[in-house]
Amino acid sequence: MQFARLNGVVIHHQVIGAAPDKPTIVFANSLGTDFRIWRDVIVRMVGDFGLLMYDKRGHGLSEAGAGPITMDDHVDDLAALLDHFGSRDAIICGLSVGGMIAQGLAAKRPDLVRALILCDTGHKIGTPDMWDARIAAISEQGIAGISDMILERWFTPEYRSADNADFCGYRLMLERTPVEGYIATCAAIRDADFTQSSAALDVPTICVVGDKDGSTPPSLVGDLARLIPDAMYQEIPGAAHLPCIEQPVILADVIKSFTARLG
């Protein structure tokens, strides 16, 4: 395990090195998860890329810090982590809120970003009323009280089987997410809108979405692809909100194909 104190909080991360001439891919995870969701993608990348995964603040083994968490906090944490390693021109692969963080980083610190892989995300996700209702429900019932609703959006019906040990494990990952970090990040998503800044991005981008995503559906991700100049768009069959879990082979192939175009 690797830890660094950045912007006043301890950030848990993992680095898997590669030859100096290999590009670096950074993986930013979704709400209610930690960087282990990328495992089956990462094992197909070792040696071809330098790899950096991290738990955003308030998730996994990273501290939440005092007070509210804003999207700027998440963006600044990722920038600080890249600065910590002296990384420039990284390929940022972000899922859901991780994709919002990636968009924010590209707008705020373009020196750090070579390209974007935006998975199951949007320039704006949900409505204030929706996020306020989720915050209220979790404050009253805990994450476990609404986890069934969340998991229905995360995974296809076929994956959500009681006999599927992996599904049971990811349920535990969600339900064991620190409540304060989850709620604070809900508020950060609620208040974030990258419509203007993402429309002005000038970086190679691909927008990827599971064709059965119930959280950020293909229509939303398609809107994001049309918003970002010259962005590519690709759907992943047989996956909902977390194609890195349900279809890691396909997602890894998409990433490799996209990065090969960068030269």
Q: What percent of the chain has pLDDT over 90?
A: 97
Identify the H or E element spanning 175: helix 165-175
Span 13-50, pLDDT tens digits: 999 998 889 999 999 999 999 999 999 999 999 999 99
Residue 1 has pLDDT above 80, yes or no: no
Question: Tell me, which fold does domain 2-262 have in CATH?
Answer: Rossmann fold (3.40.50)
Span 182-191, pLDDT tens digits: 999 999 999 9
Q: Kindly state the tokens that stand for 28.
A: 């930013």
C-alpha–C-alpha distance, residues 219 and 223, integer Å: 6
The pLDDT of residue 18 is: 85
Spell out the alpha helix ranges (H) of 35-96.
39-42, 71-84
C-alpha–C-alpha distance, residues 101 and 104, integer Å: 5
Residue 72 has pLDDT above 80, yes or no: yes
Question: Please, what's the b/e burial string for 201-234 (b: 16 or more CB within 10 A of its CB; e: otherwise)?
Answer: bebbbbbbbbebbbbbbbebbeebbebbeebbbe
Q: Could you tell me the CA-to-CA distances from 206 to 22, 77, 179, 234 in Å, in that order?
A: 20, 23, 32, 8
Cβ atoms of residues 56 and 77 within 8 Å: yes
Residue 87 has pLDDT above 80, yes or no: yes
Length of the chain: 263
The pLDDT of residue 224 is: 98
Task: Look at the block and give the residue holding tokens 């707008």.
Answer: 107
Q: Could you tell me the CA-to-CA distances from 56 to 45, 94, 101, 225 in Å, in that order?
A: 22, 11, 10, 24
Residue 263 has pLDDT above 80, yes or no: no
